[in-house]
Amino acid sequence: MTDRLDVRKTYKLFIGGAFPRSESGRTYEVTRPDGAFLANAAKASRKDGRNSVLAARKGYAAWNAATAYNRGQVLYRIAEVMEGRRAQFIADVQDAEGCSDTQARAQVDAAIDRWVWYAGWADKLAQVLGSANPVAGPYFNFSVPEASGVVVAVAPQDSSLIGLVSVLAPILVSGNAAIVVASTARPLPSVTLAECLATSDVPGGVVNVLTGDPVEIMPWLAEHADVNALDLAGITDDALATDLERAAAGTVKRVRRPEAGADWFADPGLSRIRSFVETKTVWHPMGV
Amino acid sequence: MTFEYAPAPESRSIVDIADAYGLFIDGQFVDPADGRTFPTVNPATEEILSTVAEAGQQDVDRAVRAARRAYEQVWGPMSGRDRGKYLYRIARLLQERSRELAVLETLDNGKPIREARDVDLPLVAAHFFYHAGWADKLEHAGFGPAPRPLGVAAQVIPWNFPLLMLAWKVAPALACGNTVVLKPAETTPLTALAFADICRQADLPPGIVNILTGAGDTGRMLVEHPDVDKVAFTGSTAVGQQIMRGLAGTSKRLSLELGGKAANIVFDDAPVDEAVEGIVNGIFFNQGHVCCAGSRLLLQESVADEVLTSLQRRLSTLRLGDPLDKNTDIGAINSAAQLERIHELADSGDAEGATRWTAPCPLPDRGYWFPPTVFTGVTQAHRIAREEIFGPVLSVLTFRTPDEAVEKANNTPYGLSAGIWTEKGSRILWMAQRMRAGVVWANTFNRFDPTSPFGGYKESGFGREGGIQGLGPYLDSDVVDHEATVRIGFGVTEVAR
């Protein structure tokens, strides 16, 4: 049996449901932790970031208008499609993190199971976070959670898949659209995930995945007026995080600060979902 | 035929205003370290009511220290049951002194006594009652089995509903086990200082509530104090943005309730008389000094003339004048600075080509006044359609289709509130779903209740006040590492630091 020469993949960005190269034409070399060459990933630019915001705003309109039941099914579908690509994800995570086969398997299994967990939340959030309010007067009054809009997230730098999914899924479940900047040094699992998203009935633009350097892209996205919220999970430089938070103040964005040493395998709770929902309260008089 | 109203003034003898007030720190009134003071005036007469202290850095340090000590030694270890009982006491004292506080609020703020008496004060007491009951039930509020307080809360409030904003801030903070340092607005400090006396009557242990009077500098020193864990601010979007920048890079938690430019949308099937009452209540309640005011009236084109005619007729009957008169509908503008801002924005409406209509009411000679004003022919590009005026000025726009109404209503960086007037239930729900606003009033406007969460989308801020959702900004629910926790008397668990 002869060794077959493998066909290698071109790793691109994921914007508006398509896989473009960076408009800047730039790439950067991605290696295994031992230094071996893996691929040239697209190096997203400011313009790619802006294009993503445009795509996300459109994606948000469709995604937010979908029924919660439908969103739940789509998120579950992501898990189904990932399950079919389990071997590829295990290889990707091993390459990215230099971890053992066992560790990579554990991470991929946890990531798939996390989508299943969040899928189930889609049609329960309004019941758990919402309320009927007994106001002192003849009014019907209720509160419901609603998506904040377009959320930009920096995926954790260390955890290439479970970290990424743990940040992305809670943004999507309530109806937000996301732009996620992947781990700079370990971006390839995010591209494989994007390929799953593209074939999981997630409307185009609902998730946009940028590979590259958050130091370069994030300042523009943090001050972008059509971005509603930031998740700075993967920002490791305190000074940069502070600058981004300051820039976000210009349009009163919701900001989730970086979490050093977060355990991405732990029970996520509702904290991340809560960070990217608003509460809407509706009043109506009662009478005949 | 016209009816003349005889004057019906509420007596001010019920209030006893001191010549000067110190800062309320650690359970007592103390003089400010550097001795600085400023006057507070009655905006209806320009009479100086009292002189209050201006807190400086040393005073802020002292107040935060007192709040920290009270948090660690008294309020934090106290059972939820007992915290709740203190809040119930406060609620009862507020009810007992309600008339006095209403008169004091009207004197210092300029709002009609009818509103202070019938809206502000009942809601103030209701907020304390509501939150008192939460104090020993927090583990049932959906923030995990053991939600913790955050610590010391720095709270800065505006001048439009002085005591009510205090209640919105202090009641949930205390119920959740935090201690507070609160700064009332510089033009309306008196009811907050009266609240200090209520804390004394309630035997609330020292340091749990501290009140620092002062202006913007005092507020900045307070929110940027390194030993503050939580900042809550209600006020302008510009100041909210400054606070956000100032807190960047810290671990302080923040909630903001900022400006608004709400659309009040009237469809062609709305009952005109009810809608007109709602429009009047939406923008002329509290002289329009309301962040959620319905300051953009969106009329469906086919009924625009009819509604406007009816609105102008109704506005012509409003009575502007002595806020202490029980017949007064429109009181005084809170300050000379605010009056100037209203003039400046209204003048921009003229300059940009909108048509001004002013209610025919005489203005008193002294004090700060602005008559009910309606601009028609307003476009979305006009400053009076984009910027918060915070005064009795209504901008009228028209629309043809529901989709256009949605587009125009949401075409603002703000997102605090919205109003919908139509008889069709399905249209109400369709519209309510599409409003990017935290509070939607359908066939009503400007209703408030402690059980009903209040707060904005977009640049109107984040976090909620009131309701079960309003507890979140004062609780740390992110604790998952239960093994690293120790029991304290709070009734929940506190992480060992």
- Reported as a pLDDT band with limits 50, 70 and 90, residue B490 is very low
Beta bridge partners of A40: A29
Q: Is A62 buried (19+), middle (13-18) or exposed (0-12) by CB count in 10 A?
A: middle
Contact A135 B449 (CB under 8 A): yes
Q: Using one digit for the tens of pLDDT, what is the confidence trace for A156-167? A: 999 999 999 999
Residue range B384-399: mean pLDDT, rounded: 98
pLDDT at A114: 98
Task: Measure in Å the smallest separation between the Cα of A96 and chain B Cα atoms.
Answer: 29
User: Residue B156 belongs to a domain with what CATH number?
Assistant: 3.40.605.10
A48: its two tokens: 């790619």
- Reported as a pLDDT band with limits 50, 70 and 90, residue A116 is very high
Interface test with B, best of A255, A279, A286, A288 (most B CBs within 10 A): A279
- Mark whether B327 and B233 lie in a shared domain: no
Contacts of B472 in chain A (CB under 8 A): 274
- Mark whether B223 and B340 lie in a shared domain: no
Contact A252 B438 (CB under 8 A): no
Gap between the Cα atoms of B405 and B403, Å rounded: 5
H/E segment holding residue A283: strand A277-285
pLDDT at A108: 98
Instruction: Indicate whether B398 pLDDT > 90.
Output: yes
Beta bridge partners of B23: B30
Contacts of A271 in chain B (CB under 8 A): 477-478
Task: Measure in Å the smallest separation between the Cα of A233 and chain B Cα atoms.
Answer: 14
For residue A284, what is the nearest residue in chain B, using CA coordinates?
A: B442
- Reported as a pLDDT band with limits 50, 70 and 90, residue B478 is low
Average pLDDT, chain A: 97
Q: Is residue B86 part of a domain?
A: yes
Contact A278 B461 (CB under 8 A): no
- Mark whether B437 and B472 lie in a shared domain: no
Last residue of a domain, one of B398, B413, B442: B442
Gap between the Cα atoms of B365 and B53, Å rounded: 30
- Mark whether B61 and B190 lie in a shared domain: yes
Contact B437 A254 (CB under 8 A): no
Contact A131 B469 (CB under 8 A): yes
Contacts of B249 in chain A (CB under 8 A): 238-239, 241-242, 245-246
- Mark whether B254 and B334 lie in a shared domain: no
Instruction: Indicate whether B425 pLDDT > 70.
Output: yes
Question: What are the Cα distances from residue A37, in Å, to B255, B289, B440?
Answer: 47, 64, 56
Contacts of B447 in chain A (CB under 8 A): 135, 137, 139, 283
State the pairing for strand pair B23-25/B28-30.
antiparallel
For residue A250, what is the nearest residue in chain B, using CA coordinates?
A: B241
For residue A131, what is the nearest residue in chain B, using CA coordinates?
A: B468
Contact A269 B144 (CB under 8 A): yes
Average pLDDT, chain B: 95
Task: Measure in Å the smallest separation between the Cα of A75 and chain B Cα atoms.
Answer: 23
Nearest to A131 among B249, B413, B467 (CB): B467
Nearest to B439 among A139, A252, A281 (CB): A281
Question: Which residues of chain A approach chain B closer than 8 Å at the C-beta?
Answer: 128-129, 131, 133-137, 139, 141, 143, 148, 225, 228, 238-239, 241-243, 245-246, 248-252, 254, 257, 266-267, 269, 271, 274, 278-285
Gap between the Cα atoms of B387 and A73, Å rounded: 42
Gap between the Cα atoms of A97 and A38, Å rounded: 12
pLDDT at B15: 97
pLDDT at B494: 37
- Reported as a pLDDT band with limits 50, 70 and 90, residue B488 is very low
Find the radius of gyration of the CA atoms of chain B.
Answer: 23
Q: Using one digit for the tens of pLDDT, what is the confidence trace for A11-69? A: 999 999 999 999 999 999 999 999 999 999 999 999 999 999 999 999 999 999 999 99
Q: Is residue B451 part of a domain?
A: no
Catalytic residues of B: 257, 291
Gap between the Cα atoms of A175 and A194, Å rounded: 18
Q: Using one digit for the tens of pLDDT, what is the confidence trace for B65-78? A: 999 999 999 999 99
Contact B241 A249 (CB under 8 A): yes
Instruction: Indicate whether B486 pLDDT > 60.
Output: no
Q: How far is CA A103 from the centre of its chain?
A: 22
Task: Measure in Å the smallest separation between the Cα of A263 and chain B Cα atoms.
Answer: 11
For residue A141, what is the nearest residue in chain B, using CA coordinates?
A: B452
- Mark whether B121 and B143 lie in a shared domain: yes
Q: Is the CB of residue A45 less than 8 Å from the CB of residue A221?
A: no
Instruction: Indicate whether B492 pLDDT > 60.
Output: no
Task: Measure in Å the smallest separation between the Cα of B20 and chain A Cα atoms.
Answer: 38
Domain positions in chain A are: 37-285
Residue range B159-184: mean pLDDT, rounded: 98
Find the radius of gyration of the CA atoms of chain A.
Answer: 20
B234: its two tokens: 């209600």
The answer for residues whose C-beta is within 8 angstroms of residue A198's C-beta and 6 or more apart is A14, A17, A19
- Reported as a pLDDT band with limits 50, 70 and 90, residue A271 is very high
Contacts of A248 in chain B (CB under 8 A): 244
Query: Three-state SS for B25?
Result: strand
* Count of domains observed in chain B: 2
Contact A252 B240 (CB under 8 A): yes
Instruction: Indicate whether A2 pLDDT > 80.
Output: no
Beta bridge partners of B148: B476
Query: Three-state SS for B136?
Result: coil
Q: Using one digit for the tens of pLDDT, what is the confidence trace for B264-280? A: 999 999 999 999 999 99
Instruction: Indicate whether B497 pLDDT > 90.
Output: no
Written as one letter, the residue type at A222 is A
State the greatest distance between any 2 C-alpha atoms of chain B, in Å, as a whole number.
78
Domain that holds residue B359: 263-442
- Mark whether B74 and B213 lie in a shared domain: yes
Contact B245 A246 (CB under 8 A): yes
- Reported as a pLDDT band with limits 50, 70 and 90, residue B1 is low
Instruction: Indicate whether B118 pLDDT > 90.
Output: yes
pLDDT at B484: 34
- Reported as a pLDDT band with limits 50, 70 and 90, residue A243 is very high
pLDDT at B4: 83
Contacts of B477 in chain A (CB under 8 A): 269, 271
Per-residue burial over A238-268, b = 16 or more CB atoms within 10 Å of its CB, e = otherwise? eebbbbbbbbbbebbbbbbbbbeebebeeeb
Q: Is residue B15 part of a domain?
A: no
Q: Is B365 buried (19+), middle (13-18) or exposed (0-12) by CB count in 10 A?
A: exposed
Residue range B222-226: mean pLDDT, rounded: 98
Instruction: Indicate whether B328 pLDDT > 90.
Output: yes
Task: Measure in Å the smallest separation between the Cα of A174 and chain B Cα atoms.
Answer: 14
Contact B452 A133 (CB under 8 A): yes
- Mark whether B194 and B282 lie in a shared domain: no
- Mark whether B283 and B379 lie in a shared domain: yes
The answer for residues whose C-beta is within 8 angstroms of residue A99's C-beta and 6 or more apart is A93, A107
The answer for residues whose C-beta is within 8 angstroms of residue A2's C-beta and 6 or more apart is none
Return the closest-CA partner of residue B263 out of B409, B83, B402, B380.
B409
Residue range B11-28: mean pLDDT, rounded: 97
- Mark whether B207 and B328 lie in a shared domain: no
Gap between the Cα atoms of B450 and B471, Å rounded: 11
Contact A143 B248 (CB under 8 A): no
Residue range A237-245: mean pLDDT, rounded: 97
pLDDT at A260: 78
- Mark whether B222 and B97 lie in a shared domain: yes
- Reported as a pLDDT band with limits 50, 70 and 90, residue B477 is confident
Contact A280 B444 (CB under 8 A): no
Return the closest-CA partner of residue B178 out of B247, B126, B232.
B232
Return the closest-CA partner of residue A44 out of A212, A216, A218, A234.
A212
Q: Is the CB of residue A48 less than 8 Å from the CB of residue A214?
A: no
Gap between the Cα atoms of B193 and B351, Å rounded: 43
Nearest to A134 among B245, B438, B451 (CB): B451
State the greatest distance between any 2 C-alpha atoms of chain A, in Å, as a whole number.
85
Query: Three-state SS for B118?
Result: helix
Question: CATH number of the domain at A37-285, out of 3.40.605.10, 3.30.565.10, 3.40.50.2300, 1.10.150.130?
Answer: 3.40.605.10
- Mark whether B162 and B181 lie in a shared domain: yes
ipTM: 0.95
Cα–Cα–Cα angle for A234, A239, A240, nearest 5°?
A: 50
Per-residue burial over B8-22, b = 16 or more CB atoms within 10 Å of its CB, e = otherwise? eebebeebebeeebb
- Reported as a pLDDT band with limits 50, 70 and 90, residue B482 is very low
pLDDT at A41: 98
